[in-house]
Structure 1
């Protein structure tokens, strides 16, 4: 593996990622051909039939209306012809497509190229990082060497039977300790109820949820960012493998640098035994200052006894955890998850490659990044295999991809079924097309390691993590593998967050950012308009990462309390 620093690498990165693009400050383009090998072009704005496009010496007349984010053919395509985007196969023509004609699910089907062994060395020209070399973030240092971007306490059940008890603890703690969040709809319901009591039914439709009366209690623990209550539907009733995986995931959350300690509730008779959790924890270099409280209801007796013990012990542990304060940390202590959800036809052109450049910056600074969602790497396997630092790493990636694909096909759900209706409506018509754009989140750096679900990250650099494409299952897994910040790109808008890792939401287009400002943290729409390039936006993303990691900026997902947690169940229910 070779790492080369060069003063011109920001420009080179842009041209390497999108060789047919130009840098900023050029006239607004109507279309973009992403790679010279592509035989389709992307509409950057709505195109009417008859619109003439000039593309590298040839003139193309669009013969049908093409909405923004969708694609049209640059040449006549016969049935069976391959469709190329991002320089790779993303589909085949199901019927004849005229030059200038729109492509869609009606005339293009999913297709990918085969992948095999590693064919070349993972050489890399790293981006220029001099402006970030002396920068730090203010984080929570752990004795195991990790640094948190937040300081949370966890309350988590080993089995769904304990979910209600977790909720009771939540009700006891959140408001009294100052972690309760405003709910404007409480006032709205109260106003409607009062109107109904007074017989003024006609007034009910006039109330609009404005809670000016909310006043949070003063926080007793100033250095604890919150208590996170994780509930789930696992731990028993499924396969033993799923229960093992759940324990490993929970162990990863407890080991997480953003977690000060945990209260774990067990029923006692379930598959996900406390002994299994302890075994998983013993394999991790757990910070010595972390306290883990494990209580079993069938041993404690009544629910009241269980809850009394849990609340007392948790409160005393919070007193100790509150002693940790933010201190400067170098950027190599960042572990950044790379996620996309609610993607559109612009995601792979703006937000994803901008995140990819931010990933390359973090890697060049000695940090770690995690690219997950294996169904959305379908079609770009060979590129990633060739970027692996060794045959061992590449073979593991190939093996996990093949096993996952076979398992999906066995239940009648191959990777080709991945695009959602929203994806298709906004221009991502095949899984391979979606994957080619999604993979841009991983930038261009070598693949340092490949992790199976639940494994904790160890090696600096870009890591691939086997997860589903499901947004929440994927972000849940990335946090469980150690991501202390998650970048989440979206073209359609999704509120997904995580209980312990701040999630920075990045829009692929400005229309979304303006329509849903309550969930979007950063807009990469300027790339589409030609106002900024990928490298500039990538550096802006890294600056935002530093601010969030320091507690200076609260992400929209965190502010909304979007604490999504869904463990992946690979097996069947028994």
Structure 2
């Protein structure tokens, strides 16, 4: 019998764990067509317009009557999402944390008590005009200070000029928050001179207590901006040198993200990351999750975990604000999943969202922060940002995540300012792309979640202690900033 997984009692579909063919028996029903791994099969008759259930929740409505054994996908399943939502605060108590032996890692303890997983010098250009300049400084200075810090990296972008209002403010907020990151032992701000995003205004957006670890230059007023930049990096590197110290999970800040998902992401990698999220929050650490458009359809279950009416109200504001953002631009809020998601077996946004929110575990949601803001509360925080992989992962880093757990079913080489741990939803991807993938969550199908959780936690602690990720080995480090306004 072909292997398939039914997630919750009463689900009307099961997800195939391997390719199957017409005539095969799956979950006690005979298939009427070939169905690829990660896709869904109907377990019982589903009437036209009736809800289709997966994860114990509706993932859309049947476009027509669906017979047992049929492939349930885009031709017979449609989203039920539209407009903004109306929500009620119905708090549900999160499970009591388990008493578990505390894991540790070797981190860099900063003067303010925060802990970095890397000790690097970051170069942040204020504007795209000096992006290549920042890269030249990073390359030359990196060779000069090799061994003093873990690396020198320039994070370039095309923004910082010809922008107004919220658009410019968003760029400045992201760069200011990156400049405060505990993985950066020092930061060099590189400006041009005539841009909207002036160096001194960016510096003013950074708390004064951080200024001692920051240097800046303005290229138009420098005799040799690369030489000056290298000298400033050398100064920062000497000042930043420090040893690692043993700390617990309570000092870890994790960002959780999924990209290039498939039909197994919500069954293997995402719930596995959710268990790690719970381990960190139970220990007193911090976890940040985002991708607001990929919460649509699963938001009420998250809102029921809000720590207070204030947190609930802010969640409603962020989620309905994003829904309105789509509406204002004349786009349907359900314009998701992506083509790759669909090929991988995800049909509707509700299905994608119900799988995606598994990464947030079961903890109480203690805070909600705006795009560009920094995490300020222990526990689980919801961050305002879109679903785009690069934009949302940059926002997670800016919020203070010292590592990002990035699940994927299709694969992606992308890496970001902080160690980005790629977790494959299926063993086939992990085998085909070992240069991209750090951990194979397909192991949960063979070994179970407990064993896979122990292995993944060990891997995360090793990476937090300095072991390079696949993306770091490939020198995949970049940022992307959310563009929300006109360009002058």
Task: Please state which band the TM-score falls in when normalised by the shorter chain.
Answer: over 0.9
Contact 2:81 2:334 in 1 (8 A): no
Contact 1:142 1:287 in 2 (8 A): no
Summarize deviations over 1:472-521 as a string: whole Å, max 9, x none.
Answer: 1111110000000111111111112112x111111111111100001111
Contact 1:377 1:438 in 2 (8 A): yes
C-alpha spacing 1:572/1:81, structure 2 compared with 1 (3 Å): farther
Q: 1:98 aligns with which of 37, 57, 67?
A: 67
Summarize deviations over 1:113-138 as a string: whole Å, max 9, x none.
Answer: 95502112433232342x22xx4211
2:436 corresponds to which residue?
A: 519
Q: 1:336 aligns with which of 254, 263, 284?
A: 254
- The question of 1:453 aligning with 2:371 is answered yes
The 5-angstrom pairing of residues 170-569 of structure 1 reads: 170-177=138-145, 219-221=146-148, 224-282=149-207, 286-287=209-210, 290-298=212-220, 300-302=221-223, 304=224, 306-322=225-241, 324-499=242-417, 501-528=418-445, 531-551=446-466, 553-569=467-483
Q: 1:126 aligns with which of 97, 119, 124?
A: 97
Secondary structure at the aligned position of 1:124 is classed as: coil
Displacement, 1:240? 2.6
CA distance in 2, matches of 1:37, 1:359: 27
Displacement, 1:38? 1.6
The 5-angstrom pairing of residues 28-47 of structure 1 reads: 30-47=3-20
After TM superposition, the score normalised by the length of structure 2 is 0.95
- The question of 1:61 aligning with 2:34 is answered no
CA distance in 1, matches of 2:388, 2:347: 17
Contact 2:444 2:451 in 1 (8 A): no
Contact 1:137 1:550 in 2 (8 A): yes
Contact 2:2 2:26 in 1 (8 A): no
Secondary structure at the aligned position of 1:99 is classed as: coil
Secondary structure at the aligned position of 1:387 is classed as: coil
Summarize deviations over 1:297-345 as a string: whole Å, max 9, x none.
Answer: 34x255x2x33322222212211212x1111122201000101111111
1:25 corresponds to which residue?
A: none
Displacement, 1:430? 1.1
C-alpha spacing 1:415/1:127, structure 2 compared with 1 (3 Å): farther
Secondary structure at the aligned position of 1:126 is classed as: coil
After TM superposition, the score normalised by the length of structure 1 is 0.81
CA distance in 2, matches of 1:511, 1:422: 16
Moved more, 243-252 or 332-341: 243-252
Contact 1:489 1:506 in 2 (8 A): yes
CA distance in 2, matches of 1:63, 1:278: 63
Displacement, 1:87? 1.3
Secondary structure at the aligned position of 1:156 is classed as: strand
Contact 2:91 2:306 in 1 (8 A): no
CA distance in 2, matches of 1:359, 1:261: 29
C-alpha spacing 1:286/1:496, structure 2 compared with 1 (3 Å): farther
How many residue pairs align between the two structures? 486
CA distance in 2, matches of 1:121, 1:43: 32
Displacement, 1:570? 2.0
Q: 1:168 aligns with which of 113, 136, 158?
A: 136
Contact 2:144 2:234 in 1 (8 A): no
Contact 2:393 2:416 in 1 (8 A): yes
Displacement, 1:109? 1.3
CA distance in 1, matches of 2:316, 2:382: 11
Query: Which has the higher Rg, Structure 1 or Structure 2?
Result: 1
Which structure 1 residue ranges, 5 or more long, are not aligned? Answer: 1-27, 178-218
Which structure 2 residue ranges, 5 or more long, are not aligned? Answer: none
